[in-house]
Amino acid sequence: MSTVDAIHSSPRAEEVQRAADVFASGRYVDAAALAQSLTKRFPHHSFGWKLLGSAYGQMGRYADAITPLRTAAAIYPEDAEAHSNLGVSLGDIGQFDEAVECFRRALKIKPDYADAHNNLGWLLCKFGRLDESLSNLRRALEIDPGFNLAAFNLGYALLSNGSYVEGWPHYELRSMVRASELTNAASRLPFPQWRGESLRGKSLLLWPEQGFGDYVQLARYAPLLKERGVSRLTFICQSALKGLLATVDGIDDVIDAGNIPPYDYWSFPLSLPFHCGTTVETIPASLPYLRALPERREHWRQRLPRGFNVGLVWKGASGHANDGSRSLPGLSTLTRLWGIPGVNFVSLQKSAGEDDARTAGLPLTHLGSDIADFADTAAIVDQLDLVICVDTAVAHVAGALGKPCWVMLPAIGCDWRWMRDRSDSPWYPGALRLFRQKKPGEWSGVVDELVSALSEFVASRSPKIPG
């Protein structure tokens, strides 16, 4: 084949359709293999490159997706989909400005491209530019009212903005667009999902859907559900949460997902704010609503040093979608805190990051390795003067206990519940203080603020010597 023939050759229509069908079926590894074959045989045709990049993107191989998608966009600059898909991958590796430009280029080519509006809106939400985000997400739904992902993303952005009344209904679509084993299992329960019906004299089962922190945060609704007349309220949870959730007023049973007796209804915990009509002003925020178990307190009291004790958690679970942004690189990021006299630091870190507690060369009482469950965590936190942590379940445990807790928040992908531009949380009033990154990946400014705040906090707690 001559060079001219190679440039002008194209894959057969049935070959393109087969590859597109494999991709549409979710068989992304197979789609990538077909795409690689196409790019070798038809290197000057954009379809194979776009399919390869899109398949890599669906597999989470965002860095690998960029070159094929750039190639596709260069071969056919008027392909709005290639530009939009390139924007998604660039955004997922933190190349915000170029990603935005890709989405804007796609929308210039195709102004009514709902996917591009949604992708741009979601990226802007992750980076905290909520006004622009809401505009693009609303436009995506104007173009395609049945676009569930855009509706969910809009709900997330609205909650981040504190617009709870409008946000909760959209956020209810999360189990449709982010299905998991947990949510799929709930759909197979032999009794109906609660949709806001009267609960007077009814039994209700709460079924977990996301992380430990969500469950701790939403356990506060148990007394409110009892006030609505729930006859029996049961929480399904993993063993790590059982002992702690059993201390919440209004919860009758805490069980695992084994042999479940019949109930009138089941619900996800994150649906409770929607069905209870929660606004920022009406969050049930009476603290504490969890308790530390006395026997656990006594056990851990003997392990704690005397004096002013500050608990530390510097990494969340590595499987979290935003963990690369929310977790610190390591304990050494907080080294300057040790320059504050009169403070004992206590590590609550489990799993990821535990080795830092032993190898950082900093004076530290490491308890994390011996913590068996969240009842242990609560028993320790309840005896500390302060907790400093990243956005992980420990923040919710401390807040639910009404203990002072300072939470370090990332600039990228800050969770909706912390909203934007606030240094406090209406979910944990008087307990949580929020320290936010100014630039993605830069924790030095947060640590500067922590050093200053901790110095003041220690001074305020020190006994005053009469002059």
Q: How do residues 13-28 score in pLDDT, each as one tens digit?
A: 988 999 999 999 999 9
Asked if pLDDT for residue 416 goes beyond 60, the answer is: yes
Using CB atoms within 10 A of its CB, is residue 240 exposed (0-12), middle (13-18) or buried (19+)? middle
In sequence order, the 6+-apart residues with CB closer than 8 A to the CB of 447 are: 333, 334, 336, 337
d(CA 434, CA 404): 11
**80-92 and 62-75 helices, crossing angle to 10°:** 150
* Percentage of the chain exceeding pLDDT 70: 97
Per residue, the 3-state secondary structure of 34-76, as one string, reads HHHHHHHHCCCCHHHHHHHHHHHHHCCCHHHHHHHHHHHHHHC
Asked if pLDDT for residue 9 goes beyond 80, the answer is: no
Binned at pLDDT 50, 70 and 90, residue 467 comes out as very low
Asked if pLDDT for residue 332 goes beyond 90, the answer is: yes
Q: Which of 363, 356, 353, 396 is nearest to 377 (CA)?
A: 396
pLDDT at 464: 54
Asked if pLDDT for residue 58 goes beyond 80, the answer is: yes
pLDDT at 348: 97
Report the pLDDT averaged over residues 69-97.
Answer: 94
d(CA 356, CA 366): 10
Q: pLDDT of 129-143, one tens digit each?
A: 999 999 999 999 999
pLDDT at 361: 87
Binned at pLDDT 50, 70 and 90, residue 422 comes out as very high
pLDDT at 461: 82
pLDDT at 231: 98
pLDDT at 1: 34
Q: pLDDT of 339-392, one tens digit each?
A: 999 999 999 999 888 999 888 889 999 999 999 999 999 999 999 999 999 999
Q: pLDDT of 221-261, one tens digit each?
A: 999 999 999 999 999 999 999 999 999 999 999 998 888 99
pLDDT at 33: 94
Map out the domains of the chain with their CATH numbers: 3-177 (1.25.40.10), 181-282 (3.40.50), 294-459 (3.40.50.2000)
